[in-house]
Structure 1
Amino acid sequence: MKYQIVLLFLASVCFENAISLNEAQMKAGIKLIKNTCRTKTKITDEQIAKMHEGVWDDADDVTKCYCHCALGMMKMQAKNGAFEYELFEKQKPMIPETIRETLIASVDNCINAGEGLTKKCDLSYAFFKCVYLYDPEHYMFP
């Protein structure tokens, strides 16, 4: 638990100070988010793996709430649960140059992915699903 608190602190410092991360650091942060949200939502490794394989179960509330947890931990979430582009803008300088262009293109494509939805978990899920479907080869979210 102490390790997670230290990593969360370091991540927040990086986010606020716009320090660029390398891919290994970014992957470590994603792993932390994945582990934290897995515990919080009780999602299984199989459910997470299915998303990364392109199998998105639109009826699975656990997966949707896992996405909500992850987007919140990534500090890119509006109060209603939707992706908030302005918060993403603040984090752009941190994105490793090797993946910046593809990640920004995916996010730009999915800004309004949850349009018309009202439930927080549904909004976050719609965003992650859109990002995956736009560019499955480079999908790197938790």
Structure 2
Amino acid sequence: MNYQLILLFLASLWFENAISINEAQMKAGIKLIKNTCRTKTKITDEQIAKMHEGVWDDDDDGVWDDDDDVTKCYCHCALGMMKLQAKNGAFDHELFEKQKPIIPEVIRDPLIASVNNCVNAGEGLTKKCDLSYAFFKCVYLDDPEHYMFP
């Protein structure tokens, strides 16, 4: 069975039925999203690792190279697969509100706090991948210790 079918099954259980999931189940879902979006966007494991280490720009000058959108579009893919994305590519807070009951208790409070602090991340941006990237970056910078996105 391919990852997309498994992911669709898990998403239907988690998101639509609002059942509670544990941390291991959430990590498994995140791994599926990561693997699917990695294949779709051709991002490397090193690029993903850099985000989880707090390196959000593609070079040392702190300025993003607009010609390299791989990391940004990876974020766009992941946010969409998590069913947390508005049509314009930005984070959709209303969709997140519906998913709050299924978030494992061990990460619920810090995640909700970071998400609430980053609701408007990417304000003024227009590209879908930029909007998703801005949201993930904001959540990471808000609380790196509890960052759990793919």
Q: TM-score, normalised by structure 2?
A: 0.91
Q: Runs ≥4 in structure 1, deviation > 6 angstroms? A: none
Partners of 2:146 and 2:119 lie apart in 1 by 17
Residues 23-47 of structure 1, C-alpha deviation per residue, up to 9 Å, x if partnerless?
0000000000000000000000000
| Number of equivalent positions | 142
Summarize deviations over 1:19-69 as a string: whole Å, max 9, x none. 011000000000000000000000000000000000002324100000000
- Counterparts of 1:73-92 in structure 2, within 5 Å, are 73-92=81-100
Which of 118, 123, 135 is the matching residue for 1:127?
Answer: 135
Structure with greater proportional helix content: 1
C-alpha contact (below 8 Å) 2:22/2:104 kept by paired residues: yes
- The answer on whether the counterparts of 2:110 and 2:146 sit within 8 Å (CA) in structure 1 is yes
Equivalent residue for 2:122, pick from 111, 114, 130:
114
Q: CA shift at 1:12, angstroms?
A: 1.9
Structure 1 counterpart of 2:7, one-letter code: L
Cα deviation for residue 9 of structure 1 reads 1.3
Q: For structure 1, which runs of at least 5 residues remain unmatched after alignment? A: none
In 2, distance between residues paired with 1:12 and 1:110? Answer: 26
Q: Give the distance between the partners of 1:42 and 1:126, measured in 2 at CA.
A: 20
Where 1:56 maps in the other structure, the secondary structure is: coil
What is the CA-CA distance between 1:11 and the residue it aligns to? 2.0
What SS does the aligned partner of 2:120 have? coil
Taking every aligned residue pair, what percent have the same amino acid on both sides?
87
| 1:41 maps to 2:49 | no
Structure 2 CA distance, aligned partners of 1:117 and 1:2?
A: 34
CA RMSD across the alignment: 1.1
Which residue of 2 is the match for residue 13 of structure 1? 13
SS in 2 for 1:141: coil
For residue 21 of structure 1, what is the amino acid of its counterpart? I
Q: Distance in 2 between matches of 1:56 and 1:39?
A: 20
Which ranges in structure 2 are unaligned for 5 or more consecutive residues?
Answer: 58-63
Tell me the distance in 1 between the aligned counterparts of 2:90 and 2:135.
Answer: 8
Deviation at 1:3, TM superposition (A): 4.9
Counterpart of 1:70?
Answer: 78
| Aligned-partner SS, 1:55 | coil
Does 97-106 or 55-64 show the bigger shift?
Answer: 55-64
- For 1:55, the aligned partner's letter is V
